[in-house]
Chain A
Amino acid sequence: MSTSIEEIEEIARKCRVEIVKMVYRAQAGHPGGSLSEIDLLAALYATRMRVRPDEPKWNDRDRFILSKGHASPGMYAILAEMGFISHEDLKSYRVLGGVCQGHVDMKWCPGVDFSAGSLGMGLSFGMGCALAARLDNSDRRSFVMIGDGEMQEGSVWEAAMAAAHHELGNLKVILDRNRIQNDDFCEEQMRMFDIPAKWKAFGWNVKEIDGHNMQEVMEGLDFLEAEENCNGPSILIAHTIKGGGISYMENNPSFHGAAPNEEQYNQAMIELGEVKA
């Protein structure tokens, strides 16, 4: 792998800065789940995704489906890092006519493969993409990012069962296990008990990692790509911190869908090393 751990971490840091800026400018949006997913997105895009930023609709590209589509600032930030969109485009987040719609939308933004916003839909869509690749005799993969709250939707389990039945080894899920959903902690809203055991029981290859430890993230992505795990669908359960990287947002349910004020914004820029204290 030509990109070093330090380089990926720096990409992720820059993305965190953009996430906070987008949400601050719009005074709306979802910072918590964008910050928890971003180390995973940075590693995935910097080292695994077979894509062509100058040819976003290239038919044999790997697909990435952000099923938890509210965490769009994270995706826009990495798309800008990769050159699918410009950093200027990030200013259009939640602005009328902008490519960066509130929820990621394949009709609006280059590099986005799925129009998200309704939870529990992306895994089924990703399964369709994986089936299409199989029918096309293409080796492209379908990566799907889901949220832990999202996992409560019944449709997720319809797709989980179907993907294992159809032995879709080219379907790879990353679960952002940040333990918080909209109103509160998952533990309060809907307990999910033994999550790895559930996926195993549905016939999936399962691995758990710390989603903020870049070494472990890389090992987790190795696991998803490993030949021996291409017998059926695989899931990487990434333990993350909602709001990870900004002290006052970390593990704080109120930053699921709220923007920082000016003082909080300035503090975030200091914590991310953008400005000196």
Chain B
Amino acid sequence: MTRMAATRDGYGQALLDLAGNPKVVVLEADLGKSTKSLHFRKAHPERTVSCGIGEQNMLLVGAGLASAGYIPFASTFAIFTERAFEQMRNGVARPNLPVHLCGSHGGTHTGTDGSSAQSIEDLAVFRTLPNVVVMHPCDDVSTRALTMQLPALGKPSYMRTARNKTPVLYDGREAEIQIGKGVVLEEGTDVAIIACGVLVSEALKAADQLKQEGVSACVVDMHTLKPLDGALIDRLVEQCGALVTAEDHNIIGGLGGAVAEHLVSNTFAPLERVGVPDRFGESGQADEMLELMQISAPHIAKAAQRALTRK
């Protein structure tokens, strides 16, 4: 049986693992129980700073700590990281201070809290900031592995995690995870599906369905959106000649946007983008949301078929 877990739990575990580094500090904005920084808070209260419900303050407190050599890990819901976007831009990214921001409960998959909580633009907005590394891992193992690599990064980052459990894909495969390097989870020759976050497991399901339809689909986990693994995309174009991107994020500006930007300036292949169709979400269960937004496995498979016809 596939183990199920939420990426936010991988984040919480990684913070604990990193505690041996005395420079690591954790910043909270009254959502530590949800983002999972609470484990660190319990174990290391002296290195945990409660900022109350004040995301803007939290980001700049982090910047100040980073300027003094500390490595701050700040978290809140993905949607509320956006509240502090300009703080991240002018206070963190511009001076290139290594503040690591984690936005949990990202995407429409977060469910019944509804549209106000479903961030569908975080990846896009943080991707526009110079110096900022942007990640959206798909399972707890890779989330933990990526988070563990952040202290060595030396620049700011944004990572989106998810609220709900999804299949674990990397048990025993931590070593394959590296910031900036996409992972080929399944080889294929007709079409390549490049996915991130909760849609990676949907992409694998879509590949299964495509196999039944006689199509060999390659599946890639593009956990890092910036810097984008352009070399891998070039290889996929060569190998498959048609691409699909899949993300629980607005169709504008996220993974699909990043891949499209790469294609137009480098090599060329038909690209179909699966993403939230430029609309806000609503209250619904996680699986209902993927259906409503037309981003679940069958929709990814359909997009792959469309990409094939455009070869």
Contacts and interface: CB of A to CB of B under 8 A. Distances in A.
B232 to A, nearest CB: 37
Contacts of A142: none
Q: Which of A95, A118, A183 has the most chain B CB atoms inside 10 A of its CB?
A: A183
Interface in A184-220: 188-190
A115 B282 CA distance: 12
A149 B30 contact: yes
Interface residues of B, number: 29
Main secondary structure of the interface of B (DSSP, over half): loop
B52 interface: yes
A102 B52 contact: no
Main secondary structure of the interface of A (DSSP, over half): loop
A73 interface: no
Contact of B32 (A95, A120, A154, A183): A183
Interface string A26-41: 1011000000000000
Interface string B49-61: 0111110110000
B305 interface: no
Contacts of B292: 96
B134 to A, nearest CB: 22
Interface residues of A, number: 31
Nearest to B285: A96
Interface stretch (B109-117, B144-152, B221-229): B109-117
Contact of A102 (B28, B38, B112): B112
10 contacts: A94-B114, A96-B288, A101-B114, A101-B115, A103-B117, A108-B282, A117-B113, A118-B79, A149-B30, A149-B52
Given A115-B116, A149-B52, 16 more contacts: A96-B284, A96-B288, A96-B292, A97-B284, A98-B283, A102-B112, A103-B117, A116-B116, A117-B116, A118-B79, A118-B116, A149-B53, A152-B52, A181-B53, A183-B30, A189-B50
* Top 4 A-B pairs, shortest CB-CB distance: A117-B116, A190-B52, A152-B52, A102-B114
